[in-house]
Structure 1
Amino acid sequence: MNRPAFKPILNTELPHGFRSIRFERARDPHHPEGDSGTAYILIAPLDSESRIDGELAKKHKDACRVIRRRPGGEDSLGHLVHGPGGSWRFRYDIAGSMPDETGAHFDDERFEPGEYVSVHEHDGPKVYRIVSVLPL
């Protein structure tokens, strides 16, 4: 079954707190220099402390999105959804072929350049460094 592409986000309809947050694979033993090609772009509302604003996210669910980038592959498109126990998940519902990924402690994370976040991917947790946080 073909699923429709994302409905475009109309920036003028979103509250001021919505941001485009890019995080890239951090340095680790397998990536001593990090990897800018392995990245996520998250569209989400942030509060005054740079944390995900759960109330705004709930009101504007369709605008809370994620793009998963991998070198040599197509981007995977999905939504940021609030999961059980206060978790935040990346649900790749466009193609429907990927399992959800979970952001570790995203409820408490400050999304600011230079900070680190963990994402539980299908093969285990990975660490990413936030490289930009831009208004939409």
Structure 2
Amino acid sequence: MSAQAAFHHVRLELAREPDHPAGNPGFGYDLVIPLDGDQKLDKAACQTQARPSRVRRFRNDATEAVGRLARSDDGRWFFDFEPGEADDEFGFRLDDERFVPGEYISIRAADGVPHTFRVMTSSPIDLGDA
């Protein structure tokens, strides 16, 4: 990737699951993450960018938590909302996923329950000098 990563705003919404047969557009995540040309996580940019990736978890369209995308010592990607590990939410093979509309992303909540989310939007953003 170039010296300046291509950051994208990606919106994930809960996909169909037993308790939500139609999914739930009011529960999900807004991500600001660097993606490569294949629309996959730009791993190098995630580790070298001065601006960290951002994660916002929402429920009923209200912000529940704001954090960052981080990588564990064993190479797994997770959403880190507070210091410590109690609230960490791990993605399943996030470095292999394409963040394009229609794709599905699996995330294990802090309570250990996995959920599947659908990529609803993914659009490049200009972070400017902010």
TM-score range normalised by the length of the shorter chain: 0.7 to 0.9
Gaps of 5+ in 2: 126-130
What is the distance in 2 between the residues matched to 1:89 and 1:61? 19
What is the distance in 2 between the residues matched to 1:127 and 1:109? 13
Deviations, residues 84-103 of structure 1 (Å, cap 9, x unaligned): 32211111038x79611101
- The answer to whether the 8 Å contact 1:86/1:107 transfers is no
Q: Which moved more, 1:73-82 or 1:104-113?
A: 73-82
Structure 2 partner of 1:111: 99
Q: Identify the match of residue 120 of structure 1 among 105, 108, 114.
A: 108
Structure 2 partner of 1:130: 119
Larger helix share, 1 or 2: 1
- The answer to whether the 8 Å contact 1:23/1:128 transfers is yes
Structure 1 partner of 2:89: 101
What is the distance in 1 between the residues matched to 2:39 and 2:110? 27
Aligned length: 122
- TM-score normalised to structure 1 length: 0.81
Gaps of 5+ in 1: 1-13
Q: Identify the match of residue 45 of structure 1 among 14, 30, 34.
A: 34
What is the distance in 2 between the residues matched to 1:92 and 1:33? 28
Residues 1:48 and 1:100: Cα distance change in structure 2 (over 3 Å): same
Supply the RMSD in Å over aligned alpha carbons: 2.2
Is 1:82 the equivalent of 2:33?
no
Residues 1:91 and 1:107: Cα distance change in structure 2 (over 3 Å): same
Larger strand share, 1 or 2: 2
Structure 1 partner of 2:60: 71
Q: 4+ residue stretches of structure 1 with deviation over 6 A? A: none
Is 1:30 the equivalent of 2:30?
no
What is the distance in 1 between the residues matched to 2:119 and 2:47? 23
Structure 2 partner of 1:11: none
- TM-score normalised to structure 2 length: 0.84
What is the distance in 1 between the residues matched to 2:61 and 2:32? 23
